[in-house]
């Protein structure tokens, strides 16, 4: 279900939440809630990113009930197969009909010490397997104070895109680390400023056409009350949502941002 033009993309990163049984309940409720609200599938792409152990179950549900959600994983290995205990190959994710895979999330950078180079290798691995990498970049509060908002994410994206073929299908997520789970989102103006700079990086590395079609998401304390203000910005094409993606009514309200008053 890869999308060619810049269809808005609202993606739910469940992180390490919900086992496969609870995953079914959430996906079903989200689907019903959007249907009841008259949401037009296709106007906004909806993505769910459950833990690895839920993927097969969610894939089966999406397939059986013809649910118009894209499926993604939260990480992948740089390797194809072999003696890498605990790792998951992009080949396995592709077999489960995953369209997307998140790479470079700040929680992987922080707790698993993933370097920009590792994230670049993961971007290559994703593309090799026909997966669209959702490449996360963002500055910490310290970075923000020292370098301003854009220098660190721009540098991270430059390394992540190094050597990828021109025109590669990617999604970029700008997630300021200080905004994740803090309840304190960036301002729409700041998100726009950084996302515009990230688009310029995509243009420089993958070509102008790729930059034009690449979705750049904002992530960090997105909720139904603030999503519309981000989506008004020209270079913000969607959101990567953490906590609020675990609550069907709230996530559905985020997906339906076009119906919010004043948009
Ligand atoms: P929150 O929406 O909970 O701030 O998390 C954002 C995030 O990290 C999504 O990847």
- Which residue owns the Cα nearest ligand 1 atom 7? 242
Count, residues in the chain: 263
- Is the residue at 241 inside a domain? yes
Instruction: For residue range 158-197, list pLDDT tens digits in order.
Output: 999 999 999 999 999 999 999 999 999 999 999 999 999 9
Per the CB < 8 A criterion, the answer to whether 211 and 200 are in contact is: yes
Please give the Cα distance from 119 to 105 (Å, whole number): 9
**pTM for the whole structure:** 0.96
Q: Is 105 a catalytic residue?
A: yes
Mutational pocket test of ligand 1: of 180, 185, 217, 218, the residue with most ligand atoms within 8 Å of the beta carbon:
180
Which CATH number is 197's domain given?
A: 3.20.20.70
- Is the residue at 156 inside a domain? yes
Please give the Cα distance from 104 to 123 (Å, whole number): 9
Q: How many structural domains is the chain composed of?
A: 1
Instruction: For residue range 88-117, list pLDDT tens digits in order.
Output: 999 999 999 999 999 999 999 999 999 999
| CB of 245 sitting under 6 A from ligand 1 | no
- Is the pLDDT at 263 greater than 60? The verdict is no
Q: Is 193 a catalytic residue?
A: no
- Is the residue at 98 inside a domain? yes
- Is the residue at 190 inside a domain? yes
- Is the residue at 5 inside a domain? no
- Is the pLDDT at 5 greater than 80? The verdict is no
Secondary structure of 93-130 in HEC code, one letter for each residue: HHHCCCCEEEECCHHHHHHCCCCHHHHHHHHHHHHHCC
Domain range enclosing 25: 19-259
| CB of 30 sitting under 6 A from ligand 1 | no
- Is the residue at 7 inside a domain? no
| CB of 51 sitting under 6 A from ligand 1 | no
């Amino acid at each position: 279900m890869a999308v060619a033009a810049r269809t808005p993309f609202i993606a739910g990163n469940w992180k390490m939440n919900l086992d496969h049984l609870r995953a079914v309940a959430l996906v079903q409720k989200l689907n019903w809630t959007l249907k009841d609200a008259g949401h037009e599938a296709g106007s906004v792409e909806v993505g769910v990113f459950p833990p690895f152990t839920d993927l097969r179950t969610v894939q089966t549900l999406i397939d059986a009930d013809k649910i118009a959600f894209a499926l993604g994983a939260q990480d992948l290995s740089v390797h194809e197969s072999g003696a890498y205990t605990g790792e998951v190959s992009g080949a396995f994710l592709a077999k489960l009909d995953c369209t997307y895979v998140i790479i470079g999330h700040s929680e992987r950078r922080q707790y698993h010490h993933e370097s920009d180079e590792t994230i670049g290798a993961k971007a290559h691995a994703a593309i090799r397997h026909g997966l669209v990498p959702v490449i996360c970049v963002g500055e910490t509060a310290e970075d923000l104070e020292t370098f301003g908002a854009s220098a660190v994410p721009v540098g991270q994206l430059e390394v992540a895109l190094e050597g990828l073929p021109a025109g590669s299908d990617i999604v970029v997520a700008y997630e300021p680390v200080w905004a994740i789970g803090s309840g304190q989102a960036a301002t729409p103006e700041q998100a726009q400023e950084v996302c515009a700079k990230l688009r310029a990086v995509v243009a420089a590395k993958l070509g102008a056409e790729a930059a034009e079609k690449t979705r750049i998401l904002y992530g960090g304390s997105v909720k139904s009350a603030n999503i519309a203000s981000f989506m008004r910005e020209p270079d913000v094409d969607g959101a990567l949502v953490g906590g609020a993606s675990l609550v069907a009514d709230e996530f559905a309200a985020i997906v339906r941002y076009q119906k919010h008053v004043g948009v």
